[in-house]
């Protein structure tokens, strides 16, 4: 922790320290916190600038000032758009409230939870409907049995139009079931014993023919009832399924390129700022500046390539067309990597200028002195990036040039691993 970030605080009050905070574009400056050049200060530089002036102030007030600086810096880092952007998001969330007249009546957390539950219900409902899942009937009855009963007659009429044979089969089953309850099959058997097959008497013959017609109608209904109910298979839009992913992938790739172009200047500026902090009053030549930037880019590319949660988050932002979240996440990740690697990268360049190896603050075991020489160190091949395999990279033992070549030491393992690109 930087010395200037430490302030005595009352024992009963825990105040978070101000560390590694940088000026953020768009953050509103606090009065009296500008440098000689007019640049607004924030975070640790601001605290250092005002710390001496608070030497006679009571500890509780000093702690509150420090916490206010910390909170302001964290808000600026996590939400570059500032309080206006946060307010805009909250106002958008309030629009989800069921009470449009007084959206503040329900806590925002409850509004979000209710919206998520409602969205989940309707997504499941739609999936069941699209798949023709009978469970959807149970959902409808459970939600409102009276409304379901009101809809069923119209549904039956529409079913008769779409599938006449299926409708007839259902009706026939109901009719045959009723006839069987009335012992009609037994009555037919009894009448077959009494009624002759043919008669010379015209009246009897007419009776025989009428009975035969009734019996044939019953047999026809029975046959219709025994036919399996034919329903069509659920149609899936195959053409859309095969074409849509390609279109989405192309749009996502283009979006990724465009958004990255807007982020690059900020990351490059941060590279210069962090390098200058390490250099102090020293200067780099144009060639050395190019080497520093190249090393930073390689460091960023190597580390984000093995960061599966980060990659998944970016894909989600791209798919949702959420540019603000995408830029904020990338800038935050780049800043963390650049700040962590600045001392080592600049040290390597300065050491190369003097013609001797760069000093290191990490003591490495003998087995890691030549990690790139696969003949000297036995590499274990794994199926993919460590994070994807549930492994944690040991960053203390893994230099940047190993990550570039998809090599790394794993926490808890002696030998390094290597993997192939997907």
pLDDT at 248: 64
Q: Is the pTM of this model over 0.85?
A: no
Could you say which residues of the chain have pLDDT below 50? 1-37, 239-243, 358-375
Mean per-residue pLDDT of the chain? 77
* Residues 131/234, Cβ–Cβ less than 8 Å: yes
Q: Classify strands 407-408 and 380-381 as parallel, antiparallel or unpaired.
A: unpaired
Q: Which of these, 323, 357, 328, 183, lies nearest to 252 by C-alpha position?
A: 323
* Residues 51/1, Cβ–Cβ less than 8 Å: no
Cα 99 to chain center, whole Å? 29
pLDDT at 76: 77
Which whole-number Å values give the CA distances from 291 to 17, 32, 213, 356, 399, in the listed order?
Answer: 34, 38, 100, 17, 17
Q: Which of these, 262, 270, 329, lies nearest to 297 by C-alpha position?
A: 270
pLDDT in tens, 186-209: 988 898 888 888 888 888 889 989
pLDDT in tens, 376-421: 578 888 888 787 778 888 877 777 677 767 888 888 888 888 887 6
pLDDT at 85: 78
Q: What are phi and psi of 410, to 5 degrees?
A: -110, 140
């Amino acid at each position: 922790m930087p010395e200037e970030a430490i302030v005595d605080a009352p024992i009963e009050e825990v105040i978070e320290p101000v560390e590694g905070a940088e000026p953020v574009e768009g953050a509103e400056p606090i009065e009296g916190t500008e440098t000689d050049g007019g640049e607004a200060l924030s975070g640790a530089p601001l605290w250092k600038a005002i710390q001496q002036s608070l030497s006679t102030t009571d500890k509780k007030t000093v702690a509150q000032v420090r916490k206010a600086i910390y909170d302001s810096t964290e808000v600026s880092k996590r939400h570059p758009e500032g309080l206006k952007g946060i307010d805009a998001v909250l106002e958008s969330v309030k629009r989800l409230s069921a009470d449009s007249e007084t959206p503040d009546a329900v806590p925002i957390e409850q509004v979000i939870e209710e919206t998520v539950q409602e969205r989940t219900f309707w997504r499941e409902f739609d999936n069941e409907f699209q798949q023709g899942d009978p469970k959807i009937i149970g959902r409808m009855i459970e939600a409102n049995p009276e409304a379901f009963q009101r809809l069923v007659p119209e549904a039956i009429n529409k079913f008769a139009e779409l599938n006449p044979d299926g409708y007839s089969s259902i009706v026939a089953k109901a009719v045959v079931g009723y006839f069987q309850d009335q012992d009609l099959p037994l009555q037919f058997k009894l009448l077959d014993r009494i009624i002759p097959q043919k008669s010379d008497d015209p009246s009897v013959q007419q009776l025989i023919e009428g009975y035969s017609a009734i019996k044939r109608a019953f047999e026809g209904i029975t046959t219709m009832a025994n036919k399996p109910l034919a329903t069509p298979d659920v149609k899936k839009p195959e053409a859309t399924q095969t074409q849509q992913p390609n279109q989405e992938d192309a749009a996502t790739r283009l979006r990724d390129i465009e958004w990255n172009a807007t982020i690059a200047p900020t990351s490059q500026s941060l590279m210069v700022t962090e390098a200058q902090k390490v250099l102090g009053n020293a200067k780099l030549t144009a060639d050395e500046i190019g080497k520093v930037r190249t090393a930073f880019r390689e460091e960023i590319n190597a580390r984000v390539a093995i960061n599966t949660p980060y990659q998944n988050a970016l894909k989600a932002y791209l798919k949702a067309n959420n540019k603000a979240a995408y830029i904020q996440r990338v800038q935050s990740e780049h800043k963390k990597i650049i700040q962590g690697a600045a001392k080592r990268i600049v040290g390597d360049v300065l050491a190369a200028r003097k013609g001797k190896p760069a000093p290191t603050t990490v003591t490495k075991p003998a087995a890691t002195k030549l990690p790139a020489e696969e003949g000297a160190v036995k590499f274990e091949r794994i199926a993919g990036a460590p994070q994807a395999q549930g492994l944690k990279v040991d960053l203390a033992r893994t230099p940047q040039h190993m990550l570039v070549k998809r090599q790394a030491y794993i926490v808890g393992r002696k030998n390094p691993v290597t993997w192939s690109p997907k």
